[in-house]
Each structure stands twice: as structure tokens, then as C-alpha cells.
Structure 1
Amino acid sequence: MKIQGRMFLWLSLFLLAMAIVYGLWSKEPVGTTALFLSFGLSVMIGYYLAFTARRVDTGAQDRENAEVSDDAGELGFFSPHSWQPLALALGGAFIFLSVAVGWWLAFFSAPLLLIGLFGWVFEYYRGADQRY
């Protein structure tokens, strides 16, 4: 993670320089704002990765003499299946569709959106799949 943090911090310096040069040269506010926002996002990601790298063990990607097999093993828990993202996606799509069709559609799609959101967040806190 240390290497990725440095990469993002160097990228943020490049984006800052480009934002200043672009802003002075073009006098165009939208692109300049986008570059400054990209700088801010890159700083946040780089800081997070650098901060997290201090708290966790050194990974294989941070060692010069690491082998591919050093990174083998369990990487975390990933849900094998879930219907909740489908409900969340449909609810979100209908909410956005309500802007074009009519706001009345938002009243019918908001419960679907909330069911998908709460179901996805709390799916491992109940039943046979309970983890905590």
C-alpha cells in the first residue's frame, strides 16, 4: 500500500501543477475546477493509502524481492450471491427516471430503493448467514 500511496501523492502534485498551468493559460473555469477537484481526490486517496500502510503489515507488493506466491491466500470475504443490489439498482433507476417522467414515480420507487439499501447493508446481520 505504501507504493500506491506514493503514486497517488505524486499524481496529485502533477494534477495541481496542471490545474495551475491550465487555469492561467486557458482562463476556462470548468476544466480548471475539474483539475483542482481531481487534485483533491488524489490527495485524499494517497493520504488514505499512506495512512493505512502504516497500520497494516507490509504486503508483498511493498517488497522488492517478493514472489507472486507471497500474495496467495484469502484476501477477504466477498458475498457469493445477493439479490439486494438488483433491488437497489432498480429503485435508483426509477428514482432517476422520475425526473424525466414525473415526480409521482419517486413515491413508488423510493420504497424499492430503501428495501434494497437496508437489505444490502444488513443482509449478514440476520438468519443463517449471521456473522456478527
Structure 2
Amino acid sequence: MKIQGKLFIWLAVFILAIAVIYGVWSKEAAGTTALFMAFGLSIMIGFYLAFTAKRIDAGAQDNKEADVADDAGELGFFSPYSWWPLALGVGGALAFMGIVFGWWLMYFSTPIIVLGLFGWVFEYYRGETQNQ
């Protein structure tokens, strides 16, 4: 995880340099602001990864002598047949259409987003009788 932190910090330095050059050269506020925000996000991720790398054991990616098989193993649990991301996608699409067509559309998108979020988070906490 140490290398990922360094990569994001170097990316942040690059984005900062590009933001300054772009801001001076173009004198355009929206793009310059977006680049500075991208710098902020990259530096936050980089410092988080660098800070976390100090607290956990070194992984196979931190060892220059490691093989690909050294990092094999379970990566986590991913829900294979979940429909809740579709509900979140529909709710998010309606919310963004609400920005374009009218804020009244948020009244329809907010319950869909909340329902999809709660359904996805608590998908496996329904008890033994619900899964039969």
C-alpha cells in the first residue's frame, strides 16, 4: 500500500503543476477550479494510503522480490445477485435529471435512492427465515 500512496502524492504534485500552468495560461475559472479540486482529492487519497500503510503489515506489492502468487487470496465478499445497485442507479439518474428538468423530480428520486441504499447495506441482515 506504500507504493499506492506515493503514486497518488506524485499525481497530486503533477495535477497541481498543471492547475497552475492552466490557470495562468487560460485565465479560465471553471477548469482551473476543477484541477485544484482534483489536486485536493489526490492529495487526500495519497496521504490516507500513506498513513494506512504505516499501520498495517507490508503487502506483496511493497516487496520488490515478490511473485504474483504471493498476493493471491480472498479479496472480500461481493454480492453476486444484488439488484440494489440498479435502484441506486435509477434514483441517481432521476436526481441528475431533476437538476436539468426541475427540482420537483427530486421528490421522486430521493425515496428511490434511500430505499436502494438501505436495501443494499442491509441486504444480508434480514435473518435466517428470509433467505429460504
TM-score range, shorter chain: 0.7 to 0.9
Structure 1 segment 9-88 matched on structure 2, within 5 A:
9-88=9-88
> 1:124 maps to which residue?
124
Q: Are the structure 2 counterparts of residues 17 and 119 from structure 1 closer, same or farther at C-alpha, using a change threshold of 3 Å?
A: same
Task: Give TM-score scaled by structure 2 length.
Answer: 0.83
Secondary structure, in 3 states, of the residue corresponding to 1:113?
A: helix
Residues 118-127 or 53-62, more deviating = 118-127
Name the Cα RMSD after superposition. 2.3
Residue-pair matches, total: 130
Secondary structure class of the residue paired with 1:66 = coil
Partner of residue 89, structure 1: 89
Give the CA deviation at 1:120: 0.8
> Which amino acid in structure 2 is aligned with residue 36 of structure 1?
F
How many Å separate the matches in 1 of 2:125 and 2:115? 15
Deviation of the 1:61 alpha carbon: 0.6
Residues 75 and 16 of structure 1, relative CA distance in 2, 3 Å threshold: same
User: Structure 1 CA distance, aligned partners of 2:35 and 2:101?
Assistant: 34
Distance 1:14 1:110, change over 3 A: closer
AA matched with 1:125 = Y
Distance in 2 of aligned mates of 1:109 and 1:31: 30
TM-fit CA distance, 1:100: 5.1
Cα 1:113–1:60, aligned 2, differ >3 Å: closer, same or farther?
A: same
* Cα distance in 2 between the residues matched to 1:36 and 1:99: 24
Structure 1 unaligned spans of 5+? none
Structure 2 spans left out of the alignment, 5+ residues: none
SS in 2 for 1:91: helix
* Structure 2: distance between partners of 1:22 and 1:101: 33
Query: What is the distance in 1 between the residues matched to 2:120 and 2:83?
Result: 8
Distance in 2 between residues matched to 1:4 and 1:23, nearest whole Å: 28
Report the CA distance shift for 1:87/1:68 in structure 2 as closer, same or farther (over 3 A): same
Residue 80 and residue 33 in structure 1: after superposition, are their counterparts in 2 closer, same or farther (change >3 A)?
A: same
